[in-house]
Structure 1
Amino acid sequence: MATILPELVSYLEGLPEPHILFDRQYRILAANAAYRRQFSPTASVIGRTCYEVSHHISVPCDQAGESCPLARSRESGQRERVLHLHHTPQGESYINIELAPLRDASGEQAYYIEKMEPLRVAQGQPATQGLIGRSAAFQRMLELVSRVGPSQASVLLLGESGTGKELVAQAVHEASARAAHALVVVDCASLPETLFESELFGHERGAFTGASTSKPGLVEAASGGTLFLDEVGDIPLPMQVKLLRLLESGTYRRVGSTELRRTDVRVVAATHRDLKAMVADGRFREDLYYRLSTFPIALPPLRDRVDDIPLLAVALLARVVPQRRMAVAPAALACLQRHTFPGNVRELRNVLERAALLADGTHIEPLHVERALGSDALPAASVAVTALTPEDAPMPSSDASLRSVERAALQAQLKAHRGSRAELARKLGISERSLYRKLRELGRPS
């Protein structure tokens, strides 16, 4: 094994973040104190390969379907950064890896230094909170979150209803330097146009009927932190220009005031709408769209994350029935993995909660899953209400007849349903917000 300069080892030892040094054969030559404390408190890693220690595999990452930073550095000749799922004493965890090549006297890459930083906002194993997954689609999304999180860039989250946009917004916030400050959620879909401005920017006393006192807005509450604009496609056009001014200059005015106020917020927006189509139709400002979408992240639907369903099932059961230690039988998991889940993770949670209520023992069996899914077995047109309406997916105008069928199906569900709006939303596998939007389109009271 190569002899390493003691000055280099001493330098690594003093770094606060976990670092290792390894050679071109992937053999670890040095590991600093921070690495030993966090990743290998009981056993030495010196002389072992990085891929065996981190991944418990016998070949380099790029030969096992992973992105290998060493291979990428050899190709690019520079630093490389990747997100990997590593084995740790606490289980598998997502780790941000930054690799820097060290060159010898001839200019060839001789050694490599890796800095490792755990990504604490997601797990590759069941957890009681946060993002959970290990599928390729999930990891691609998570790598984007890890890259944009520490920056100040505006983020636009794009995805179907139920894919976890608020959880991803939370992850972006927690990965930033603003994590110690507030993450303030603005539910753009539920705010009436007449109240939108005062809720967002605040108002002065006497600004309108009923404004008996001055009130700060959500923008002010988020100062120093992150402002999450959920369902940004529902922002009224008159408000869009004021939001654009906030994004571009960090300034705003309370309703009823001429005083220009300043705030320091990072904006994360989310929508399931096709904002580009809305821009083309004149329903969304083009300049605001480009300002919001500095860094877009597409959230994968659950049907593209089938391999994550077993992990999600364990975690979601712990959340919906914490008082019961329940497991899902392998055949029941296979049944769940065959379902398309138009309502995504939210629908999976509902199905698991129903299945748990149907099961008397500690295991959810295929029969329980089939019965739980059966309560969502709506007529084809009703399913289309969940998956294909204009709010949930872009639809060309030539499909007007299908849209009419979908609306008719929702009308039929409303007529037959005798419970609350929340129960109806769960039955359809959508959020209450999505249901309220559909009701408004139908001209029905919410």
Structure 2
Amino acid sequence: MEPTPTPAPELVAFLEELPEPHIVLDAHYRIRAANAAYRRKFGAAAGVLGRPCYEVSHHFSEPCDLAGESCPLAQARTSGGRARVLHLHHTPGGEEYVQIELAPVSGSAAQPQLFVEKMATLPMAQAQPAEQGLVGRAPAFQQMLALLARVAGAPAAVLLLGETGTGKELVARALHQASPRAQRAWVPVDCSSLPETLFESELFGHERGAFTGATHARPGLVDAATGGTLFLDEVGDIPLAMQVKLLRLLESGTYRRVGSTELRQADIRVVSATHRDLPRMVAEGRFREDLFYRLSSFPIRLPPLRERREDIPLLAQALLERVAAPRKLRLSEDALALLQAQPFPGNVRELRNLLERAALLCDGAALEAAHVQQALACGLVPPAHSSAPTSAPVPSALVPAAPAPALPPALPPATRPAPRSAQDWAQLIAEHTGPRAELAARLGISERTLYRRLRALRGAGRPAA
């Protein structure tokens, strides 16, 4: 019979003095010791000693790796080395994200192997509705969060890649707040709003007389971010001529103010973000390849809302608390079901805006499906060709949405009925009664090309449908 493993008194005494929560596990996942920091954070050790860690932390009846989670102990047993994972743990304050580092302790035939597990809560994200910060628990969200947790304490340049509305600035701020620079400056820069003529001056500052109107010396945003984080939002919009100056800053950590020969040292951590396809821009010559690699030392992709649809109830409640404050609105089940049925191409930003409109339309204590439907209707744009009816119809968003009819498949290139003359185009357009997108699809051309053809027909005096 295998002897019951007991941690050495010296190990227990050492862990007891550490400020971070630590426990000692045996190879069967049972907790054999817990230090004072663990007892303060997660509860009295007397109630956990001898119990499996997965039962205490996750309320599971089987090990994490058998329940769809990544298990650090299983990884360490396989590799023989350290393991690091991000988990959702049950705590007295509810579920919290916890960064786990596990290391094996040498064992022998007489003393089975033990493992020391260090736990650190991750305040940058919540698994329940919160007034601030990142909120989510979907697998795609947790994958992103695990990458953020790994790079937060490092000086590496981080590039956040994601569609519009996925919360890139919110993620960048969370990254700053979890870094050693959290108590220093956080300086966001909207690169898309800076004209090329002012970009260098705004970023690096200028000296008195450097250009017309420079009546006094002025520090730039790099100066303002000293010791902290400089966040370059929409970095794909930086003018090509200015990219080389930013590259110099990243490569050497130095810069010059406009109109100065003095070389200044920059003490900043750079985080950038874009919704653009930078590799494609590099291939097209619109973005410097060397700058791309400097910015993307550690790229992190932010998942769109459609990839974390199970987070919509959590996000909706959290966002509603933010946009409706100080009111305490709750979401009805029907309203929540309607929200989950929406495509949200604008991602979390679109969800937030929709909830804000719905809250303004709600006079009661509960947000119902009718309020969400009315808020959806507010965003509808009537077709330009429709005539005004004699009586106001019910907005289409108030009626349960029906799936859009599928467009007929485009014909193969060899059999497309491509018109050859203006008369052919005029006849085809006159006979077509459906949407122009459908016509473009049938012809195998883009809508932009179709509209150019229509403008050409109008210029020639032909009917344009």
**Normalised TM-score (structure 1):** 0.84
3-state SS, counterpart of residue 212 of structure 2: coil
Query: Hey, what does 1:23 align to over in structure 2?
Result: 26
On the 8 A contact 1:94/1:120 being kept in 2, the answer is yes
- 1:43/1:344 CA distance change after superposition, 3 Å: farther
Pair 1:69–1:107, CA change in 2 (3 A): farther
CA contact (8 A) 2:208 2:214 kept: yes
**Structure 2 residue matching 1:117: 3-state secondary structure:** strand
**What is the alpha-carbon distance in structure 1 between the residues aligned to residue 342 and residue 451 of structure 2?**
21
Residues 169 and 233, structure 2, Cα contact 8 Å, conserved in 1: yes
On the 8 A contact 2:7/2:24 being kept in 1, the answer is no
Q: How far is 1:44 from its partner?
A: 2.7
Residues in 1 aligned to 2:348 and 2:450: alpha-carbon distance in whole angstroms: 26
| Equivalent pair of 2:313/2:336 in contact (CA under 8 Å) | yes
Counterpart of 2:147 in structure 1 is 144
Give the aligned residue type for 1:369. V
Q: Which moved more, 1:187-196 or 1:99-108?
A: 99-108
Q: Residue 49 of structure 1 is aligned with which of 49, 52, 60?
A: 52
Match of 2:446 among 401, 404, 407: 401
Q: Do structure 1's residue 279 and structure 2's residue 324 form an aligned pair?
A: no
What code does the residue aligned with 1:401 have?
A: S
Structure 2 alignment gaps of length 5 or more? 385-443, 453-465
Aligned to 1:201: 204
Task: State the distance in 1 between where 2:130 and 2:360 align.
Answer: 21
Distance 1:54 1:337 in 2: 30
Q: CA deviation at 1:404?
A: 7.0
Equivalent residues in 2 for 1:12-161, closer than 5 Å? 12-41=15-44, 44-106=47-109, 110-161=113-164
| 1:114 aligned partner, one-letter code | E
CA distance in 2, matches of 1:145, 1:364: 34
1:267 partnered with 2:265: no
Q: Deviation digits for residues 123-146 of structure 1, max 9, x if unmatched?
A: 111110010000000000000000
Of stretches 242-251 and 202-211 in structure 1, the one that deviates more from structure 2 is: 202-211
CA contact (8 A) 2:5 2:114 kept: no
Rounded Cα–Cα distance in structure 1 between residues aligned with 2:351 and 2:445: 30
Q: 1:356 to 1:271 in 2, by over 3 A?
A: same
Q: Which has the larger radius of gyration?
A: 2
Q: For 1:27-426, list aligned pairs within 5 A.
A: 27-41=30-44, 44-106=47-109, 110-378=113-381, 401-402=446-447
Contact 2:344 2:350 in 1 (8 A): yes
Corresponding residue SS for 2:150: helix
- Whole-Å Cα distance in 2 between the matches of residues 363 and 42 of structure 1? 42
Moved more, 55-64 or 291-300: 55-64
The one-letter code sitting in structure 2 at the alignment partner of 1:364 is L
1:3 alignment counterpart: 6
Name the amino acid aligned to 2:308. R
1:340 Cα deviation after fit: 1.0
Cα distance in 1 for partners of 2:203, 2:30 equals 55
CA separation of 1:201 and 1:163: change in aligned 2, threshold 3 A = same
Instruction: Give the distance between the partners of 1:329 and 1:8, measured in 2 at CA.
Output: 53
SS in 1 for 2:78: helix
CA RMSD across the alignment: 2.2
Structure ranking higher on relative contact order (CA contacts 8 Å, 6+ apart): 1
Residue by residue, what CA displacement relative to the aligned partner does 1:181-212 show, whole Å, maximum 9, x if unpaired? 11110100111111111000000111111111
Flag the 1:104–1:241 CA change in 2: closer, same or farther, 3 A: same
- Determine helix, strand or coil for the equivalent of 2:193: coil
Asked whether the equivalents of residues 102 and 109 of structure 1 are also in contact (C-alpha less than 8 Å), the reply is no
1:42: Cα distance to partner? 8.6
Does the C-alpha gap of structure 1 residues 156 and 213 become closer, same or farther in structure 2, counting only changes over 3 Å?
same
Distance 1:406 1:240, change over 3 A: farther
Aligned-partner residue type, residue 82 of structure 1 = V
Structure 1 stretch 84-93 or stretch 239-248: which is displaced more? 84-93
Give the superposition deviation at 1:405. Answer: 8.3
Distance, in Å, in 1 between the alignment partners of 2:297 and 2:231 is 15
Q: Give the 3-state SS of the residue equivalent to 1:184 in structure 2.
A: strand
The letter of the residue matching 2:87 is: H
TM-score, reference length from structure 2: 0.81
Q: Hey, what's the Cα distance between the residues in 1 that align with 2:156 and 2:326?
A: 41
Structure 1 residues 346 and 49 mapped into 2: Cα distance closer, same or farther (>3 Å)?
same
Q: Report how far residue 234 of structure 1 moved.
A: 0.4
Report how far residue 402 of structure 1 moved. Answer: 3.5
Tell whether the 8 Å contact from 1:201 to 1:252 is kept in structure 2 after alignment. yes
